[in-house]
A and B are shown apart, each in its own frame.
Chain A
């Protein structure tokens, strides 16, 4: 499968601070990719570079094989829903659809109208008076109706109530089912991921910590729990992601390619949410070097 977004050594510096650093990704097409990380991790920076709103400081990025926003043709093939779903407040919903039609040569106005009707928006209503969920649906419609190959969304559901969030994700997944487009979706909420994403990128403190297919990640991570053990005694093939100890018991979250044979362990699978949190806190600890809860030395 060809990569929809490919980066090598990508970085962006603002003043002295690096918003993104050493980013090397090859995000495959035909997937719904979740870009997860805490606020300020660099997700928005990465996505803005992918759609051509920001220029990298170093490294390269290619979207659908070309430099971002290389020309009108590429702009047409990539749809973007920005954070907080910006709309023109004084323009009506119908006006936004006309805006889309005027600015995008391959605009599917039938699709746009159907979606607006389905969501229940009044074409005459001003976009400024829409609720957060309705605005998100409008922004999604604008991005989908230009029939992109790749849809990039920056925290589209962060400020929505649970029902609006579910509706939005449902609409997005229906569009994926219908049109087969690739999606890259960033979020600082880990909960919705498992339903929706089949490829995951974890970004913490401006670096990529984890990237891979969800099925492969689940298959290669286990939680091992058993009598108290020194981490050094684990085989080298088992990479420790997270560990916690009491005086009698040790629990490890490991990444390994082979099966776990040691009978002393109780081996349980790791849920996606726990997996992501483990990687996020591992990066955090490395940065802060602070003692973790539960460690009794």
Chain B
């Protein structure tokens, strides 16, 4: 039979052992702000793609936005809080918005801790990266960056 003193001593030893390891923050960031930022960036990109007369790319961007909005709704958040800025037919703006959306998806991934949400993040990043490449390519600016979406 283990008495209380042994239990407390054991607990203390475990606390000490745990404290000797590498310091690490285990708490992930919340998913909602990451999803909202991604949604705002995707809406901005989709608007520019439409303004640049790239309807198939714009349609796929809208589909990604719909998936993000659905995920936000599951969390009880309000997708309408993500703004949809005005868009002009400006390829430089389109490429900037393309980079912004990839950056948002990359930044969001650590907040996506459940398997399904991490899968969603990986798929959205993959699809958006492809479409941003096609957008640039269509206007003579194929991507050259080995790390698209890296924070600027």
A binds B: no
Residues of A participating in the B interface, judged by any CB pair closer than 8 Å: none
Q: Please list the residues of chain B having a beta carbon within 8 angstroms of any beta carbon in chain A.
A: none
